Chain A
Amino acid sequence: DQQVKQNSPSLSVQEGRISILNCDYTNSMFDYFLWYKKYPAEGPTFLISISSIKDKNEDGRFTVFLNKSAKHLSLHIVPSQPGDSAVYFCAASAGDMRFGAGTRLTVKP
């Protein structure tokens, strides 16, 4: 019963271009959505979040968009940099937090 789904296991993007990572959820009770970034042999680190009452939140090169009617959120990274290469986890919270399976982003120089 995966309530948070990231259907793309991997994504490859050229440096300087936009990276778009997608996430779908099924539980309409989720009221906070977050993105985490994970490098190998490290724990995930919090990147950006959005409340269900908003449809966009921006932090520097990172923007998260929320479409509640479609139960879909996305993370945009512009411009992408090689240091952004990592696994990105989408998460949703309605008390405790549920995570997607992750998308491995590779940014090529």
Chain B
Amino acid sequence: NAGVTQTPKFRVLKTGQSMTLLCAQDMNHEYMYWYRQDPGMGLRLIHYSVGEGTTAKGEVPDGYNVSRLKKQNFLLGLESAAPSQTSVYFCASSRGGNGYGYTFGSGTRLTVV
């Protein structure tokens, strides 16, 4: 009964380095999302996917890329990390679109120095 699992939980990157955050869900959900949480800003949508092989941009997509090669996995990539990308990243999944509550992972705290 894992739900949504995010790895890693913590990471420190140097400016310019790249990394991939992995999100895995075991609920057979079609929709998956990546959010970032910053103080005073709430959760902002980076990218999302409405099914295997699909991706779409959210509110703040610049500097990030995503892939959904398998239904259960949604990867978030940072090609060249910047200090402005220091944040807590949350992955979520849902059965459908409107009205369905999201199931969130426990987050990845990323610091870019």
Contacts and interface: CB of A to CB of B under 8 A. Distances in A.
- A and B: interacting chains: yes
Interface of A: 2, 4, 6, 9, 31-32, 34, 36, 41-46, 49, 51, 89, 91, 93-102
B104 A32 contact: no
A51 to B, nearest CB: 6
B1 interface: no
B101 A96 contact: no
Interface residues of B, number: 24
A32 B42 contact: no
A51 B99 contact: yes
B31 to A, nearest CB: 9
Nearest to A93: B98
Nearest to B45: A96
Contacts, number: 61
A99 B101 contact: no
B87 interface: no
Contacts of B106: 41-43
8 contacts: A9-B40, A31-B99, A36-B101, A36-B104, A44-B43, A91-B43, A96-B48, A101-B42
A46 B48 contact: no
B97 A99 contact: no
A91 B48 CA distance: 16
B111 interface: no
B99 A93 contact: yes
B90 interface: yes
Nearest to B109: A41
